[in-house]
Structure 1
Amino acid sequence: MYSNQVKATLNNALLKRKCHNVYNNHRLNDFPQTYRPQDVERGWYEVWEKNKYFRPKEEAEKSFTMILPPPNITGTLHLGHALTATIQDVLARWHRMNGASVLWVPGLDHAGIATQAVIEKYLYKTKGIKKSDMSKEQFLEVVNLWKNEKGQVIEDQLKTLGASLDWLRVYFTISDHHNTAVTEAFITLDKRNLLYREKKLINWSSTLGSVLSDIEVDFETLKKKTDLEIPGYDKKVTFGQIYEISYNLKDSHEKLSVATTRPETLLGDVALAVHPDDTRYTQFIGKQVKHPLKEAYLPIIADKGVKKDFGTGIVKVTPAHDEFDYSIAKNHNLEIIDIINEDGKLTDQGGRYKGLPRFIARKKILTDLANMGSLVSVKDHEMQVPRCSRTGDVIELLLKEQWFIKCEEMAARAFKAVKNGSLKLDPAFHEKTWFDWLSETKNWCISRQLWWGHQIPAFYCDIDGKTTWIVARSKEEAQIIVREKLCADVEVHQDSDVLDTWFSSALLPFSSLGWPTKAFNYKKYYPLNLMETGHDILFFWVARMVMLGLELTKELPFKEVLLHGVLCDAQGKKMSKSRGNVIFPENVINGITLEKLNEQAQNSFETGILNQTELKRTLSINTKMFSNGIPHCGVDALRFTLCAHNIKERTISFDIVECEQNKFFGNKILQASRYALLVTDDEPMPTPSYFTPIDLWIRSRLAWMVENVNRQISEHNFSKAVAAIKQFVYYEFCDYYVEGTKLGFKSGDQNIILSHRHTLAHSLEISLRIMAPITPYLCDDLYSKLSNKLSNFKFNNSLLESSYPTVHEVQELRNIPLEKKMSEVIKVILSIRTLLGNVTKKNDVGGIIVVNNADDLKLYLDNINVITAVSKLQNVQIIHAENYKRLDNSICDSFNLNCTVYLVFNDDASLEQAKKNIENKRLKAKKKLEIMVKKHSNTSDDEKVKFQKKISTLEEELKRIPLTAH
């Protein structure tokens, strides 16, 4: 059976076993008894960095390149960032172990609007200082100190998460290099006539004092009257109402009524408009009405754009603050009156309301209209309130001159790239949204009125009383252009505005790799292999990266986009500070008490990150969700939990309970490792020529896992990869195989023992390698410890130096017919466990498995050790049906089995109690089913599907109580 060399090795091993029991406790002296994440994680990141595992391998034949979506420096990382980092790190580690040269570039985003808003809150809350109290230089000094502090915390958080980033390449989106890239991009777009400056209606946030692009405006839908918190107002402001206002017709006693949701803009009205075919008002076209609040008359004009069914069918025209009204004013050559200032207060045109904040002016205007009898009615009205995504401010449309990028041609190319398959979106259902958005893309307003950001490389001067703009790399270059090309000797001044943050971020796939200079070997690493990010920034970022990448580099910046869902809490609500349900990764990793959680929230309030309402909600959520605090779970359990969800869904619900359970999974693997050391010794483990059925089965299932995990990771189906790992490692290997081999190791049969030893060590070794990209700390730590004592564990500093298990490595182990047979054995074990669940005194029962043919008899006899060990039933017999005489003192189960399983009782009282327990389960299941059927019959058609699923589940549960007493 064995060669002479192998026999000699085995004989030495047998001699040692005569001196030492198979359960070698001394081998566990320096091995941990339980899984303690803080011990496992200590020091490993330093090992990985020291050995330069995160740097690209220049000699590798294949490569894989990504950039980390740069976290904003507004604060520290939350679980949403942890999700992104974990997904990307799993891919980076998987590709490295598969032999690829991996470049994964870290970075930080200056986040112009968001950062400036946070710093302003921080300064006012902690020091009572407003931005207006400081010079630009003083303010930027504070921002830079903030950036350095938060940037270091973010880097430490990413390292704690195990993110294997190449820190030598770390970038910051407002660095000198990135400023060069931004300037080059701006100048290139200008040269290609894709850049222009124009006065038009833009989205304005008075809280920020800046323009916003269309996609930075959130539209909050209100069904009825609703009071909203608005920055700068002590009391909530009412929305969701429509006001009907009457106008006196000039030289007539008649009145015309106009419905509006914006009475605060009344003093900016320049006309009333009706549809030319609206027979209610055709006789008034060309006439005038008296303005109710000032000495002025407004013309009544006809325009086909007016909706006859909105309000009264008459609209007031306020061209300086509404897109539709602006178009009417242009068509009819009407005056344009600015009524709202950049600070959100009424302008000099506001008459007696001048200088009032717009929503306070609204209240006063409504009061005055009511007093003069011009306020006809106030009704609830469904409407959409445009709000700043950063501050919650209500957006105003103001007429301002700004810089815009022409997007039509670039959007068409980005559209085509997905349409023809050059660019893949994963999951594919995002394609429809991609096509819809790019089909309707407007020109992009890129000016921002901030201090923090890339100052626009454009300069202006006055020539013959007219402002002229010059796009240039520097003031000196602009001055030369003015003198040489415009023949003028005037001073130039740089635009004080900065560029939209998303403009610089859109360049990152190539600017982070060195574009437009030759730094970092840009040509070697560009384009990226993959862009992975949340689907909520598909248009903010991904579409713009594709548009500018194609325009500026003539290449797609990446060939594939992986979009993950928005992280939500256990109740399915999106995590946000406004909801108070944000979870920080370090609180899951290290654990935290409720008291400390509340202290964190209080500190965020005291530094201006949370307002009073947000603090109150956070404290309430903490008490509701984490009354006992958050348990200490460790990094690997957090990573495993994040990967266990289908990241391709639109939302991902994170539950701390799942994370804690996955920490127990880590302990399960550690205990399996301890078991391997107990039943082995330091001798080499040659491959036996004989394997027991359970060993052959687990080797086959090992091959199944390796094949599945590789395929699922390659297709970015991380939840399916995790499910395959858990199915094999947790259930099949730990629950069935490890338990099922215990009697074999005690049997004294050397063939069985050698088969078990080799299979156990082999399965554990491959399992740790296959889990390494997902749970790197635990796998490196266990593997390093086991490598000192198990001959087949070859370890050199880290599993990052090992190869990832491949299908080729294990394909010969697959045995599907055997798996089908063993599935029957597992069903029998589960059946015995189910029966035993009804038994109080388990020592008083024995088991009989009655089979109907010789093949099944052999199958169960061959696996009697497994059945006995795993079911925890010590006395089990296998009997052919011809030889079985039914016993009265038994209960049985044959549901979904190829045999019948009996529990035989020695005690009548235990038997009767078991029957009673079974009947109680049946009655409970029937009662639940009856209630659900009743609910199903009394519910709407939309709800019937949900209830039918519950009914089907209960019916199946009832079938699974097919226990009959004899």
Structure 2
Amino acid sequence: MNITRVSDFFSINCLYKTRRKLSDIRLVDFPDVFQPKASDHGWYNLWQEKEYFKAKKSSNKYFTMILPPPNITGTLHLGHALTTTIQDVIARWHRMKGDPVVWIPGLDHAGIATQTIVEKYLNKTKGIKRDDISKEEFLSYVWDWNHEKGSRINSQLKELGASLDWSKEHFTMSKKHSVAVTEAFVILNERNMLYREKDMINWSPSLRSGISDIEVEYLRLCEKTDIEVPGYKKKVTFGQIVEVAYKLKYSDEEIIIATTRPETICGDVAIAVNPNHTLYSRYIGQHVKHPLKDIFIPVIADDSVSLDFGTGAMKVTPAHDPVDYRIAKKHNLEVVNVIGEDGFMTEAAKPFQGLPRFLARDKIISELSQRGFLKTIKDHEMMVPRCTRTGDVIEYILREQWFLKCESMAKRAMEAVRNGSLKIDPSFHEDVWFSWLGNIRDWCVSRQLWWGHRIPAYRCNFENNSTWLAARSEEEALLLAKKLYGNTVQVEQDSDVLDTWFSSALLPFSSIGWPSQAVDFHKCYPLSLMVTGHDILFFWIARMTMLGLELTEQLPFKEVLLHGILCDTQGKKMSKSCGNVISPESVINGISLNNLNSLVKDSHNLGILSSSEVKRTISVNGKMFPNGILDCGADALRFTLCSHNIKNSIIFFDVDQCRTNKFFCNKILQACRYTLLMTNDDPIEIPKELSSLDRWILSRLSFMVDSVNEALTQKLFNKATSAIKQFIHYEFCDYFLEGTKVGFQSERSDLILAHRFALVKSLEVSLKILAPFTPFLSDEFYIKMARKLPDFSNYNSLMEASYPTYNELQEYRDLNLEERMKNVIEVILKIRSLLTGLSKKLSFEVHIVTDSPKEFDVYSEHINVINAVSRTQNIKIIPSSNYVRMKNSIYDEATNTCSIFLVVEDEEVLEDLKNKLRKRRLRLEKKVQSAMEIKSV
């Protein structure tokens, strides 16, 4: 039926509304608007009840992944949601492809982070400090914290739809995992890969523990800056360099040194100068007077001293600087410790003993000034090392610790990447891999905490001697010690605990049974894929690789997918210190600004956030979410996270994109409603002939399915979601559905059958394709549609379904038709653009003018689609040879051979339209220019 009059167009809408009224019973399960909470309700429980997350017994190897275990320090943030969503999409896709999937959940005890936050909690809520209670009492509080936070984290994972096999859940402080940790330590010790030695480590005085490099962040200062430091009522000044004179023995001459750490001067044991220094090299071998002690210290030559830093001479303080310590070892210098593990000055720092280090700094500067040795104090660029957990300024101290030899393990890990056995995706991270592992230092695995795996090493005391051995228990240690040193020997376990990263590095094999190696161990190990953020490539991925190769003689995984760091729209990493952390449930369920700020205050009351962090977070919330956050649902959040190029180093997250994708979910709902209105309960026969519109949408469906599978194979989630959205939102909903309204209004049974077939087929496949990305919505809509459409398969959930493949749909692919329809779409877009802002009540016409006979036929064939999608009936298709342009018109080119003319009778309206088009074109040109400038940079 060819409709050319506006009255006919309105009759279609009237018919559509009438049909809706008559068919309301078919829409009883479908709301008018997408409601995320209604879609999410109950599905996760069903998935668990049906045991979809458990891999069926298989003779084949399982597709295995492990979820990077969240720390039990609090709740999940959007960074966790990103990792979880990526892995869940992969897991669901593989299940629907028929692969047996084992995806392992777990929690990390996070030694330093958890101990720190529980200490803050106890101090804030109960007025208790760690030193006020026994170790056992403190650990009981930590276990209570663990149970509460662990339960909350698991609830969050379920709310996200994470299809984890909960029967395989692990905890890195469980007895089972403790057995693996102990076994690993003992084996490494037996292989002579562990040693105990005094060395320079990162030390947090407020924690009174050594910390790993990843727990240290460097604050860059360009000038004098006051910083909050735990334990100090007033802020402490940094960003200054002090010049001090050291007078030569038997001379009035002096050497000027520059230091940013005058509090360590009492520990100076030498002055080091570069042998090529034009001024100071002549003093090498002489001695200078210590400015604060009645002693003389030597001037030594060392080519590691920079000629450009400070004055070119440097004080050597071996106990408090890694570089100085290496120089001291090289020159056999004394090591004098003047700052204790508690951050207070030691006896060696008299007369400043007992003072906090930064208060001592001020007094030392004052004393130097009084003695005439202080030359200048100037602003100076510097990097201040701070503990990420406490905000404390790191000290470098010498302490006896356990170290793991890493050089040989690092070589094997590098070779695995070099020979292709281990794939790192994206590959540009390989440079970091080789750089870190090629310059690796031995790993300090000792931590001075109460919470963690106690090191399974025992001091053996016998006949005024002492040595160490590793054992699986105190009984085993004593038995072994007696064999070696006699029956009078006594054993005492090391009070330190192991670095959390040590226990976490075992997870690929410890979480699936090692060291016992259960029945399915070899089917699950190595893992098929490891997914995590690129920021822990060295601290976790590399260490898992090294220990996996060493302890199992296999790589722990075949492939590593590294995603970027989630940042806000300004490019700032989401963190407590920035105040821009967003929880997944705030996006899923929505939250008002008042409630958002109330959560912040609650965290402060529990000791989790400091006063400054609360102030900063409330300020950021007001700027980012002045109206709160709209409830978007888990599906919209998941789809948004996947729509980013996760392989970029930085991922910019904008909550508004979630809101947009909620509208996309609503678009899918409306497509379901339309499908039900245009069909009945009868099975749909395969049509003998399809219209070009139906053939086109099925061809595009085939292309979309192929594109999504290819994108998922390459882990390009943004390309997968883009292909899905392009098809469902634009091609299916905007063009196809609108284009079929005329056919459904006609009396042509063959056309109605063809439309119904293409409509149902496209929607059925689309909901399956969406299932890994939007599992709640897909199950909710698909199962409800299946109750009324026999052509939908009868599943309890799409987790029982097979994922669509190109092979199933390739018969519909028609490239020539797609090319023709591409021109139709271009025409529609140009018409829409020209009509923007034009009232439909005004008198106007649209002329499609082409000099191509083929295009003329295509536009004529699809005039109903053009009318419907353009939402106007005043359209004429005219060969260019017969066209005379009217004065009161504006035009735009649709293709090389086709132009669109908009004819408007009212000259004033026409002029207004021209102005709007000019402004729009200028805006677009500016955007293009801006994009080009950014690209060139």
TM-score range, shorter-chain basis? over 0.9
State the shift of 1:752 in Å. Answer: 1.1
- Given that 2:255 and 2:280 are in contact with CA atoms closer than 8 Å, whether structure 1 keeps it comes out as no
Structure 1 residues 594, 930: closer, same or farther in 2, change over 3 A?
A: closer
Matches within 5 A, 1:715-754: 715-754=714-753
Counterpart CA distance in 2 for 1:144 and 1:514 is: 24
Counterpart CA distance in 2 for 1:191 and 1:769 is: 53
Q: Give 1:652's aligned amino acid.
A: I
State the shift of 1:229 in Å. Answer: 2.0
State the shift of 1:98 in Å. Answer: 0.4
State the shift of 1:164 in Å. Answer: 0.3
Q: Does 1:448 align with 2:450?
A: no
Structure 1 residues 277, 833: closer, same or farther in 2, change over 3 A?
A: closer
Q: Which residue of 2 aligns with 1:46?
A: 45
State the shift of 1:59 in Å. Answer: 3.7
Q: Which residue of 2 aligns with 1:667?
A: 666
Structure 1 residues 428, 932: closer, same or farther in 2, change over 3 A?
A: closer
Structure 1 residues 20, 534: closer, same or farther in 2, change over 3 A?
A: closer
Counterpart CA distance in 2 for 1:171 and 1:930 is: 54
Deviations 1:409-451 (A, max 9, x none): 0000000000110000011110000010000010000000001
Structure 1 residues 836, 929: closer, same or farther in 2, change over 3 A?
A: closer
Structure 1 residues 292, 498: closer, same or farther in 2, change over 3 A?
A: same
Partner SS for 1:847: strand
Counterpart CA distance in 1 for 2:724 and 2:928 is: 36
Q: Which of 888, 896, 917 does residue 913 from structure 2 map onto?
A: 917
Matches within 5 A, 1:647-726: 647-726=646-725
Counterpart CA distance in 1 for 2:487 and 2:331 is: 39
- Given that 2:401 and 2:446 are in contact with CA atoms closer than 8 Å, whether structure 1 keeps it comes out as yes
Deviations 1:353-411 (A, max 9, x none): 10111111111111121222211011222222222232222211111110000000000
Q: Which residue of 1 aligns with 2:389?
A: 390
Matches within 5 A, 1:69-84: 69-84=68-83
Matches within 5 A, 1:142-221: 142-221=141-220
Counterpart CA distance in 2 for 1:67 and 1:214 is: 24
Matches within 5 A, 1:120-131: 120-131=119-130
Q: Which residue of 1 aligns with 2:8?
A: none
Partner SS for 1:232: coil
Partner SS for 2:895: coil
Q: Which residue of 2 aligns with 1:494?
A: 493
State the shift of 1:575 in Å. Answer: 0.2
Counterpart CA distance in 2 for 1:932 and 1:753 is: 44
Counterpart CA distance in 2 for 1:806 and 1:327 is: 62
- Given that 1:24 and 1:681 are in contact with CA atoms closer than 8 Å, whether structure 2 keeps it comes out as no
**What CA RMSD, in Å, does the superposition of the two structures yield over aligned residues?**
2.1
Q: Which residue of 2 aligns with 1:13?
A: none
Deviations 1:655-702 (A, max 9, x none): 111000100100000001000000110111011011111111100000
Counterpart CA distance in 1 for 2:118 and 2:850 is: 76
Q: Give 2:597's aligned amino acid.
A: N
Counterpart CA distance in 2 for 1:697 and 1:543 is: 49
Matches within 5 A, 1:373-412: 373-412=372-411
State the shift of 1:316 in Å. Answer: 1.4
Deviations 1:256-306 (A, max 9, x none): 222111110111111222233434234433333222222222222333333
Matches within 5 A, 1:359-758: 359-519=358-518, 521-758=520-757
Stretches of structure 1 lacking an aligned partner (at least 5 in a row):
1-16, 937-942, 950-966
State the shift of 1:894 in Å. Answer: 2.6
Could you tell which deviates more after superposition, 139-148 or 210-219?
Answer: 210-219
Partner SS for 2:901: strand
Counterpart CA distance in 1 for 2:748 and 2:60 is: 48
Counterpart CA distance in 2 for 1:41 and 1:344 is: 52
Q: Give 1:913's aligned amino acid.
A: V
- Given that 2:826 and 2:894 are in contact with CA atoms closer than 8 Å, whether structure 1 keeps it comes out as no
Q: Give 1:836's aligned amino acid.
A: L
TM-score, normalisation: structure 1: 0.93
- Given that 2:462 and 2:488 are in contact with CA atoms closer than 8 Å, whether structure 1 keeps it comes out as no
State the shift of 1:61 in Å. Answer: 4.7
Q: Which residue of 1 aligns with 2:934?
A: 946
Counterpart CA distance in 1 for 2:505 and 2:308 is: 43
Counterpart CA distance in 2 for 1:637 and 1:927 is: 30
TM-score, normalisation: structure 2: 0.95
Counterpart CA distance in 2 for 1:527 and 1:117 is: 34
Could you tell which deviates more after superposition, 834-843 or 101-110?
Answer: 834-843
Matches within 5 A, 1:881-896: 881-896=880-895
Q: Does 1:239 align with 2:216?
A: no
Q: Which residue of 2 aligns with 1:347?
A: 346
- Given that 1:241 and 1:261 are in contact with CA atoms closer than 8 Å, whether structure 2 keeps it comes out as yes
- Given that 1:23 and 1:679 are in contact with CA atoms closer than 8 Å, whether structure 2 keeps it comes out as no
Q: Which residue of 1 aligns with 2:788?
A: 789
Length, aligned pairs only: 921
State the shift of 1:57 in Å. Answer: 1.3
Stretches of structure 2 lacking an aligned partner (at least 5 in a row):
1-15
State the shift of 1:922 in Å. Answer: 1.4
Partner SS for 1:563: strand
State the shift of 1:231 in Å. Answer: 1.8
Matches within 5 A, 1:124-143: 124-143=123-142
Structure 1 residues 394, 302: closer, same or farther in 2, change over 3 A?
A: same
Identical columns (%) = 56
Deviations 1:519-575 (A, max 9, x none): 473222111100001111111100000000000000001000001111111221100
Counterpart CA distance in 1 for 2:91 and 2:356 is: 53
Counterpart CA distance in 2 for 1:869 and 1:316 is: 82
Counterpart CA distance in 1 for 2:736 and 2:204 is: 64
- Given that 2:462 and 2:490 are in contact with CA atoms closer than 8 Å, whether structure 1 keeps it comes out as no
Partner SS for 1:352: coil
Q: Give 1:917's aligned amino acid.
A: L
Could you tell which deviates more after superposition, 457-466 or 801-810?
Answer: 457-466
- Given that 1:824 and 1:897 are in contact with CA atoms closer than 8 Å, whether structure 2 keeps it comes out as no
- Given that 1:690 and 1:755 are in contact with CA atoms closer than 8 Å, whether structure 2 keeps it comes out as yes
Could you tell which deviates more after superposition, 843-852 or 349-358?
Answer: 843-852
Q: Give 1:241's aligned amino acid.
A: Q
State the shift of 1:835 in Å. Answer: 1.7
State the shift of 1:927 in Å. Answer: 8.7
Counterpart CA distance in 2 for 1:757 and 1:557 is: 50
Matches within 5 A, 1:847-862: 847-862=846-861
State the shift of 1:920 in Å. Answer: 4.2
- Given that 1:824 and 1:898 are in contact with CA atoms closer than 8 Å, whether structure 2 keeps it comes out as no
Q: Give 2:101's aligned amino acid.
A: V
Matches within 5 A, 1:73-112: 73-112=72-111
Partner SS for 1:397: strand
State the shift of 1:842 in Å. Answer: 4.4
State the shift of 1:331 in Å. Answer: 3.0
Structure 1 residues 693, 929: closer, same or farther in 2, change over 3 A?
A: closer
Structure 1 residues 683, 261: closer, same or farther in 2, change over 3 A?
A: same
Structure 1 residues 356, 871: closer, same or farther in 2, change over 3 A?
A: same
Matches within 5 A, 1:181-330: 181-330=180-329
Structure 1 residues 351, 781: closer, same or farther in 2, change over 3 A?
A: same
Structure 1 residues 739, 471: closer, same or farther in 2, change over 3 A?
A: same
Structure 1 residues 90, 283: closer, same or farther in 2, change over 3 A?
A: closer
Q: Give 2:93's aligned amino acid.
A: W
- Given that 2:823 and 2:895 are in contact with CA atoms closer than 8 Å, whether structure 1 keeps it comes out as no
Could you tell which deviates more after superposition, 374-383 or 86-95?
Answer: 374-383
Deviations 1:580-609 (A, max 9, x none): 000000000010011001100001111111
State the shift of 1:493 in Å. Answer: 0.6
- Given that 1:121 and 1:609 are in contact with CA atoms closer than 8 Å, whether structure 2 keeps it comes out as yes
Counterpart CA distance in 2 for 1:30 and 1:188 is: 61
